[in-house]
């Protein structure tokens, strides 16, 4: 196809790229049954899922985390305001979800054993509940040997009255038999003769006869992860210290038990933690008390011995005042030592609290050095008595102080209650939180509607078939007729196919829609085509009309035969030639010898008169394709075909030639050179504009001009209402 060929056709300017709302509405109306059916199916599936899906229940509890002071209050009274902190909710939540807390719940309820009824996926439990066949099982213990598989075990309830059951492994091999409320073990005659047998203790089992239950073992970590996945902990309000616990699962009673145990474990670990702080401090004091007592004894003995040796030397008023100050300093320094020890366990030396203690120690040590300088000015005897007396009094102060605080810590340890309080124990309102039935039904319906609408629109977007004359005229081809789809012709085609299978034939009058129902709208369209061609053929070189098309199965033969019958009914003498010597079927279903025709004329084995079927209808003669030759194109290029066309043009008013598809073979291009008028047939919603354009260009390259296009089998659709509106006019009986 050359550029000159394209330029010979006047093409309409492209339409602006706008959204045609009327067209979209028409597409949706055309696909209304798809949309309605799909939406109904999705809605039904959504309602079914909502009604039969496994219900999920939620239990909730409430816990308060009160303000907590860091460190021992009895040892940190001076600095308690400095590093008092409120427990961080995020930290507490992580503690609750830790393996330390959840692991105790896993051990208590044996969550490493998974036992559940064998239902259909998703809807099985809901269906069993509605049918009254719900089953329950509770396994307190399930031990398997190290070599055995962790999962894939099936427990079958043999007798619901006695509670007898059988356990099978992954290969459906019997492992053991047992009874509810009794520990069952695999015997020596079982499939595994190992030292550690299978053992199971089922405390509760309920269900219909032969109900199956799935059993499996999982690691403790997997059980903790499962428990953590169903557990939700959040703080109510900002910095409120109120934690809301929640647990979701299919068993409402189990949800309550698990949540209560988690809250209790969290509370107990908090109490243990607070008691551990007091106990650690108490252990520290108990280690120090013997050392201080021994040192006090040594100091007292040294003071008494010195007094005896020096005949009871007494201190003066100045020395006594200095002694009192020295004792207070030593007491303060000793207290700072304990505080520093406590801070060292919590903070680094760069922490403000730690720096404050170090600064205070530095100040006290400076005062101590100043007093020691004053003591050096005293006489030697008084100075020594002062030193010994100071050691005794300082150690007495320290010993009494530690003894008092030791007793206080013992009381604190015994009365520790922690800073966690369980406000509300776990409860469940008995109403499933999942699935949300109304929401699922609405969403499923909306999803079905959106998917069906999207399907209809996408199908239309990818569909390239011609649906209106305007689409054909946009590529520069004229539309001579639009033939509505005939339901009666479709019934006739089915009848003809049945007769072909039965190898029967029918009269020509019964094979043509023109004869069966002359008032059919399709025949009226052919009459309109006859009128249009009457004026169009005035400038044609002859009275030969070629009927062709870009592809097969577009109704080309229907148009040819019925158009010829319409021409004949007007009194004009017409001849129709089936030039499709490959797959032509005109006359095959009628009582005509279709194996004698055009191919015999072209090879010279028969004359035109011998192959011509006369008086098929009044004023209508017919030449069939004849036997299928091996070289149809070469035969059409023979001089005999030219002679045939010239003879037919002289002896008939109109000559119609039905040819093979243009895009399939080259026969149409050969026949078109002998035709004065070429018409191309396209089928509604099947033939694309690109096919029409390429077929027309291919004919033009061979020197054949396409006079116009016939749009066949036009359907009455909402999206293309403008293509069939004028066909609503029809005959009306006089009755």
Q: What is the pLDDT of residues 641-650, one digit of tens each?
A: 999 999 999 9
| Residue 366 neighbours by CB under 8 Å, 6+ apart | none
pLDDT at 102 exceeding the cut of 90:
yes
Task: State how many domains the chain has.
Answer: 4
Same domain membership, residue 447 and residue 375: no
Task: Please state, in angstroms and rounded to a whole number, the distance separating the CA atoms of residues 714 and 720.
Answer: 9
Taking alpha carbons only, the member of 572, 577, 520 closest to residue 544 is 577
pLDDT digits (tens, 9 = 90+) for 539-594: 889 999 999 999 998 989 899 999 999 999 999 999 999 999 988 888 766 666 65
pLDDT at 75 exceeding the cut of 90:
no
Confidence of residue 128 (pLDDT cuts 50, 70, 90): confident
Confidence of residue 638 (pLDDT cuts 50, 70, 90): very high
Same domain membership, residue 473 and residue 457: no
pLDDT at 155 exceeding the cut of 90:
yes
Same domain membership, residue 179 and residue 153: yes
pLDDT at 82: 39
pLDDT at 381: 60
Same domain membership, residue 513 and residue 449: no
Task: Please state, in angstroms and rounded to a whole number, the distance separating the CA atoms of residues 659 and 598.
Answer: 12
pLDDT digits (tens, 9 = 90+) for 704-727: 999 999 999 888 776 655 444 444
pLDDT at 85 exceeding the cut of 50:
no
Write out the residue range of the structural domain in which residue 176 sits. Answer: 113-217
Residue 412 counted as domain residue: yes
Residue 210 counted as domain residue: yes
Residue 304 counted as domain residue: yes
Q: Which two tokens stand for residue 112?
A: 């490493």
Q: What is the DSSP string of 516-538?
A: H-TT-HHHHHHHHHHHHHHHHGG
Which H/E stretch holds residue 319?
helix 317-344
Same domain membership, residue 188 and residue 322: no
pTM for the predicted model, two decimal places: 0.57
**Strand 57-65 versus strand 420-428 pairing type:** antiparallel
Same domain membership, residue 487 and residue 450: no
pLDDT at 71: 43
Same domain membership, residue 487 and residue 397: no
pLDDT at 192: 47
Task: Please state, in angstroms and rounded to a whole number, the distance separating the CA atoms of residues 64 and 68.
Answer: 12
Same domain membership, residue 413 and residue 495: no
Cis ω on the peptide bond leading into residue 427 (within 30° of 0)? no
pLDDT digits (tens, 9 = 90+) for 455-466: 888 887 776 788
Domain CATH code at residue 675: 3.40.50.300
Same domain membership, residue 211 and residue 164: yes
Mean pLDDT of the chain: 80
Task: Tally the C-alpha atoms within 13 A of residue 320's C-alpha that lie toward its C-beta.
Answer: 5
Confidence of residue 728 (pLDDT cuts 50, 70, 90): very low
pLDDT digits (tens, 9 = 90+) for 175-192: 898 999 899 988 754 444
The residue that leads in pLDDT, 53 or 174, is: 174
- Percent of the chain with pLDDT strictly greater than 70: 76
pLDDT at 490 exceeding the cut of 80:
yes
Same domain membership, residue 705 and residue 630: yes
636 and 626 in contact (C-beta within 8 Å)? no
Instruction: Look up residue 555 and give its DSSP letter.
Output: S
pLDDT at 81: 42
Same domain membership, residue 119 and residue 182: yes
Over residues 517-525, the mean pLDDT reads 90
pLDDT digits (tens, 9 = 90+) for 400-421: 766 777 666 666 655 555 678 8
Helix 521-536 to helix 556-569 angle (10° resolution) is 70
Same domain membership, residue 535 and residue 458: no
pLDDT at 12 exceeding the cut of 60:
no
Q: Which two tokens stand for residue 362?
A: 């530095």
pLDDT digits (tens, 9 = 90+) for 661-689: 999 899 999 999 999 999 999 998 888 88
* SS percent in the chain: helix, strand, coil, step 5: 50, 20, 35
Which of 196, 217, 238 is the C-terminal boundary of a domain? 217
Task: Please state, in angstroms and rounded to a whole number, the distance separating the CA atoms of residues 354 and 342.
Answer: 10
């Amino acid at each position: 196809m050359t550029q000159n060929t394209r330029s010979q056709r006047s093409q309409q300017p492209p339409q602006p790229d706008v959204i045609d709302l009327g067209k979209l509405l028409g597409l949706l109306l055309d696909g209304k049954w798809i949309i309605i059916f799909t939406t109904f199916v999705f809605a039904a599936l959504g309602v079914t899922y909502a009604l039969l899906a496994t219900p999920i229940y939620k239990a909730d509890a409430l816990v308060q985390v009160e303000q907590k002071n860091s460190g021992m209050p009895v040892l940190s009274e001076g600095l308690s305001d400095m590093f008092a902190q409120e427990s961080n909710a995020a930290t507490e939540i992580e503690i609750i979800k830790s393996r330390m807390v959840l692991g105790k719940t896993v051990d208590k309820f044996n969550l490493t054993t998974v036992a559940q009824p064998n239902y259909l996926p998703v809807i099985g439990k809901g269906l069993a509940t509605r049918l009254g066949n719900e089953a329950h099982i509770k396994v307190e213990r399930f031990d398997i040997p190290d070599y055995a598989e962790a999962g894939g075990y099936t427990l079958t309830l043999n007798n619901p009255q006695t509670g007898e059951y059988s356990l099978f492994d992954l290969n459906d091999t019997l492992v053991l038999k047992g009874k509810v409320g009794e520990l069952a073990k695999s015997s020596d005659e079982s499939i595994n003769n190992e030292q550690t047998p299978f053992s199971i203790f089922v405390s509760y089992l309920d269900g219909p006869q032969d109900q199956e239950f799935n059993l499996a073992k999982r690691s403790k970590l997997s059980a903790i992860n499962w428990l953590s996945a169903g557990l939700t902990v959040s703080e109510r309000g900002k910095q409120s210290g109120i934690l809301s616990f929640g647990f979701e699962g299919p068993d409402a009673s189990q949800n309550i038990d698990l949540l209560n145990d988690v809250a209790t474990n969290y509370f107990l670990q908090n109490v243990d933690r607070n008691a551990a702080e007091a106990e650690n401090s108490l252990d520290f004091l108990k280690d120090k008390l013997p050392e201080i007592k021994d040192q006090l004894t040594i100091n007292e003995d040294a003071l008494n011995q010195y007094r005896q040796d020096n005949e009871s030397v007494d201190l003066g008023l100045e020395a006594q005042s200095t002694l009192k100050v020295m004792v207070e300093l030593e007491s303060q320094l000793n207290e700072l030592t304990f505080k520093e020890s406590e801070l060292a366990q919590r903070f680094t030396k760069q922490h403000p609290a730690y720096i404050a203690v170090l600064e205070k120690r530095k100040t006290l040590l400076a005062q101590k050095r100043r007093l020691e300088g004053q003591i050096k000015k005293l006489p030697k005897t008084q100075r020594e008595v002062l030193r010994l007396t100071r050691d005794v009094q300082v150690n007495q102060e320290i010993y009494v102080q530690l003894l008092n605080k030791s007793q206080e810590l013992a009381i604190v340890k015994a009365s520790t209650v922690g800073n966690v309080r369980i406000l509300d124990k776990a409860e469940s309102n008995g109403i499933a939180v999942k699935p949300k039935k109304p929401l699922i039904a609405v969403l499923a319906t909306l999803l079905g509607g959106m998917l069906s609408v999207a399907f209809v629109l996408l199908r239309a977007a990818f569909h390239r078939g011609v649906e209106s004359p305007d689409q054909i005229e946009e590529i520069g081809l004229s539309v001579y007729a639009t033939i509505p789809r005939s339901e009666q012709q479709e019934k006739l085609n089915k009848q003809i196919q049945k007769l072909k299978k039965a190898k029967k034939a029918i009269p020509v009058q019964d094979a043509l829609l023109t004869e069966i129902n002359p008032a059919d709208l399709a025949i009226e369209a052919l009459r309109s085509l006859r009128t249009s061609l009457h004026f169009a053929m005035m400038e044609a070189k002859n009275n030969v009309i070629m009927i062709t098309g870009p592809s097969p199965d577009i109704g080309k033969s229907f148009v040819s035969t019925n158009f010829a019958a319409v021409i004949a009914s007007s009194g004009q003498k017409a001849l129709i030639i089936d030039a499709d010597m490959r797959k032509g079927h005109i006359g095959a279903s009628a009582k005509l010898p279709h194996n004698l025709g055009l191919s015999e004329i072209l090879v010279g084995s028969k004359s035109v008169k011998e192959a011509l079927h006369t008086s098929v209808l009044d004023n209508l003669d017919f030449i069939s394709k004849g036997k299928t030759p091996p070289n149809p194109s070469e035969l059409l290029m023979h001089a005999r075909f030219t002679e045939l066309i010239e003879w037919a043009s002289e002896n008939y008013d109109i000559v119609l030639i039905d040819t093979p598809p243009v895009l399939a073979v080259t026969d149409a291009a050969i026949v078109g050179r002998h035709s004065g008028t070429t018409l191309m047939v396209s089928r509604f919603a099947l033939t694309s504009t690109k096919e029409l354009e390429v077929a027309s260009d291919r004919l033009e390259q061979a020197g054949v001009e396409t006079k116009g296009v016939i749009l066949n089998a036009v359907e009455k659709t909402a999206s293309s209402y403008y293509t069939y509106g004028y066909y609503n006019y029809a005959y009306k009986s006089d009755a």
